[in-house]
Amino acid sequence: MNSHDDRLLTVDEAAERLGTGVRFVRRLIQERRIRYVKLGKPVRIPESALASYIARRTVPAAHEARDARYGRAA
């Protein structure tokens, strides 16, 4: 995704996309576990940062991990 196309989400929007509460997103920001943009007092989360966070936290299914380790059977 081009950085010019990277939409900035409010904390409320990020929480909605993650399916969590606003407090959780604020904690991610406070602990610097997710990238964010500070615009004075308000903060925004780039969509790419949210996608990256989700990708890092995604656990593969058992069969996906097994296939990756041993190669796929033909």
**In the prediction, which pLDDT does 63 show?**
81
Spatial strand order of the sheet with 43-46 comes to: 8-9, 43-46, 37-38
What is the average pLDDT across 44-65? 92
Strands 8-9, 37-38: pairing kind: unpaired
Distance CA 47, CA 37 (A): 11
Distance CA 6, CA 23 (A): 23
When pLDDT is cut at 50, 70 and 90, the band that residue 74 belongs to is low
When pLDDT is cut at 50, 70 and 90, the band that residue 71 belongs to is low
**In the prediction, which pLDDT does 64 show?**
75
